[in-house]
Amino acid sequence: MTHEEPHLKMRVGKLLCILSNQHYFTKAINVQTSVNGTVGSEAAVPPEQQNQQQQQQPPPPNAWQVIKGVLFRILIIWAISSWFRRGSTPQDPATPTGAPRPPSRNLFPRDTLMDLHIYLSEKESFTEFNSTSAVFWEQRDLVYGDWSSGANRDGCYEQYSDIQVPEGVQNNGSFYIHVFLTKSGFHPDPSQKALYRRLATLHTSRMLNKYKRRRFLKTKNLLTGETEADPEMIKRAEDFGPIEIISHWHTNLTINIVDDHTPWVQGSVPPPLDQYVKFDAVSGDYYPILYFNDYWNLQKDYIPINTSVSTLPLRVTFCPLSLWRWQLYAAQNSRSPWNFLGEELYEQSDEEQDSVKVALLETNPYLLALTITVSIVHSIFEFLAFKNDIQFWNSRQSLEGLSVRSVIFGVFQSLVVLLYILDNETNFVVQVSVGIGLLIDFWKITKVMDVKLDRQNKVAGIFPRVTVKDKSTYVASSTKVYDDMAFKYLSWILFPLLGCYAVYSLLYMEHKSWYSWVLGMLYGFLLTFGFITMTPQLFINYKMKSVAHLPWRMLTYKALNTFIDDLFAFVIKMPMMYRIGCLRDDVVFFIYLYQRWIYRVDPTRLNEFGTSGEAPTDLPAQDGPASLTNGQEVSGPPKPEEDKKKD
């Protein structure tokens, strides 16, 4: 195997990882707001609090709006392409004298007998080899590269024990696991000179507990001032602030020894593999690769550690791992392209981190392969819909048959969503995605209305006044009359529903402030009843008995994506409101298709450019004087005999 092959496999695995995670991340853009006394974006929530949270949260948003989703994917594709163009940067491929480094070998040849020593300690640097309480597991005479031993004949060994939690760990301290792998007959303690050998001892460690943020949002019923939050949670919020760092524990940990004898060259190991391959400073050879594999540890299974916890269960599994599988795991756990923003800006919830893993675990492999394929097709359709939508509005000369008010209402919807996610401290990536979508919605306003700067009548004598008025092609046609009529009828439905939802939200939901209530109420209302705003265009089509003015290419791509959304909504665990949202979008599009069927295209009808789809026909020649029409002589009707005599 060449040195480039592991690098290529790792990049392919990383690409699949980013595509799969990004797809669901775009799908699950439904921002979840932590209610009073519940755990925020990175903490485990007890079942009773989860029920309370689900009751109080507004329904999650339908995130598959073409512009927002496509722009986000464009940014991701740009990050991936930049990463591929950059390639790996050799660290130090040459020796200090300038000569190229020779290939290295594994210090543990195949079939080497090994001893495994695992210790637990509160210290990051371990020296307590004589402490029996620190010993967790000792396994003798393991064979490097053995895939057939163990209880299940798969080369795996397992140790389970309930460990005593030290007082420091109970008070948010760190707890480390130290793994020593030695050749049989040797000891990991350097103080035992007769039994210790540097080239025969491999040591690696990591922190067992994981720190998560627990967010506390102080909410209350705005009318009564009461809250259903746990009084103890309120007290902790007053003592530790709105964000509390809490240590968490997971029961399972897998230690993989990679069955690899690749002749790696020091300084030329591709990232992220380079952080796991350890070279000996003297001999230049490398130690066996020990990899702590917690990829399948779901975030929801972590339990908090506090002073009431005296013992914790721990199951450690020691297994061999092939090189290509290790590359996939390493690629999955490597830094995301968005991690340069920092954890505060790029912070994913437990559900977002677990989504792909749960899909891999619970979905049929064939259905999963189909889902991955369809997700790629979905991205292509989104790009095509975005491109055709921009081309349609950029080249549109007449607004006849198009609902201008729907475009304006779309800006209002995007603005409400942006303010809502800003108020609820969503991660920075989602904020950028929605913000760019809002800017494009504002750009559409300039295409459907005349927006000008009045520099004569300035605001406060400094800033030019912005004037907005309807375009002449919209006012002169009957479209404006039908558009006004449609929204008038629509208001008879929307305003009562909005009032009822506002009263319900005020009576039965808790909010941080009146501003949060307004945003939450509008946001939840738009998610529930926002599809009604798609009906004015249906009404205009009905009145005009035509659908020729619609951007059918964009609508077709968008409809195909909606059908793909239906597949994802039932394959991946989704809230019921999201599934209903996909279904109602399908219903609206089927109405569009029905209108296209009953309002057939008339090839003789002149469009807004004064042309028709009917091919011109030549008239038969006639005797007598001809009139010039379009530069051609065309015979007129035959004249009576008396007129001929007068001529």
Most confident range, picked from 45-54, 154-163, 467-476, 588-597:
154-163
3-state DSSP helix/strand/coil % of the chain, to nearest 5 = 45, 20, 35
pTM for the predicted model, two decimal places: 0.61
Which residue type sits at 584? R
Q: What is the pLDDT of residue 117?
A: 96
Q: What is the pLDDT of residue 78?
A: 57
The lowest-confidence range among 195-199, 278-282, 355-359, 407-411 is 355-359
More confident residue, 489 or 206: 206
Q: What is the pLDDT of residue 446?
A: 84
| Mean of all residue pLDDT scores within the chain | 74
Q: Does 99 reside within a domain?
A: no
What is the per-residue pLDDT across 509-524, written as a single tens digit (0 to 9) for each? Answer: 888 888 989 988 888 8
Nearby residues of 588 by Cβ (< 8 Å), 6 or more positions away: 531, 534, 535, 538
Percent of the chain topping pLDDT 70: 67
Nearby residues of 70 by Cβ (< 8 Å), 6 or more positions away: 382, 383, 385, 386
Does position 26 have pLDDT exceeding 50, yes or no? no
What is the per-residue pLDDT across 416-471, written as a single tens digit (0 to 9) for each? Answer: 888 888 887 666 667 777 888 888 888 888 888 888 888 887 777 788 888 888 87
The pLDDT confidence band at residue 572, using thresholds 50, 70 and 90, is low
Most confident range, picked from 14-28, 527-541, 571-585:
527-541
The pLDDT confidence band at residue 628, using thresholds 50, 70 and 90, is very low
Handedness of CA 356, 362, 365, 366 (dihedral sign): negative
Q: Does 574 reside within a domain?
A: no
Task: Using alpha carbons, select from 229, 211, 212 the residue that is nearest to residue 220.
Answer: 229
Q: Does 519 reside within a domain?
A: no
Does position 229 have pLDDT exceeding 50, yes or no? yes
If one counts the domains in the chain, the total is 1
Longest dimension (CA), the chain: 138
Does position 15 have pLDDT exceeding 50, yes or no? no
Does position 319 have pLDDT exceeding 60, yes or no? yes
Q: Does 644 reside within a domain?
A: no
Nearby residues of 555 by Cβ (< 8 Å), 6 or more positions away: 589, 592
568 vs 61, 355, 562, 572, 573, CA distance in Å? 15, 12, 10, 6, 8
More confident residue, 637 or 133: 133
- Inter-axis angle of helices 514-529 and 404-423, nearest 10: 130
Q: Does 15 reside within a domain?
A: no
Task: Using alpha carbons, select from 145, 106, 107, 111 the residue that is nearest to residue 262.
Answer: 106
Q: What is the mean pLDDT of residues 303-328?
A: 92
Task: Using alpha carbons, select from 451, 440, 481, 508 the residue that is nearest to residue 219.
Answer: 508
62 vs 56, 523, 559, 577, 632, CA distance in Å? 18, 11, 14, 9, 59
φ/ψ of residue 321, rounded to 5? -145, 135
More confident residue, 196 or 371: 196
Does position 594 have pLDDT exceeding 50, yes or no? yes
More confident residue, 317 or 358: 317
Does position 388 have pLDDT exceeding 60, yes or no? yes
What is the per-residue pLDDT across 166-197, written as a single tens digit (0 to 9) for each? Answer: 999 999 899 999 999 999 999 999 999 899 99
Q: Does 150 reside within a domain?
A: yes
Q: Does 374 reside within a domain?
A: no
Domain, as residue range, for 276: 43-57+108-321
Q: Does 224 reside within a domain?
A: yes
Distance CA 434, CA 423 (A): 14
Distance CA 171, CA 29 (A): 35
Q: Cis before residue 320, ω within 30 degrees of 0?
A: no
SS (H, E, C) 432-447: HHHHHHHHHHHHHHHH
φ/ψ of residue 536, rounded to 5? -60, -35
Does position 75 have pLDDT exceeding 70, yes or no? no
Length of the chain: 647
More confident residue, 351 or 620: 351
Does position 604 have pLDDT exceeding 80, yes or no? no
Nearby residues of 187 by Cβ (< 8 Å), 6 or more positions away: 129, 195, 196
DSSP lists the bridge partners of residue 176 as: 121, 207
Please, is 432 exposed, middle or buried when counting C-beta atoms within 10 Å of its C-beta (0-12, 13-18, 19+)? Answer: middle
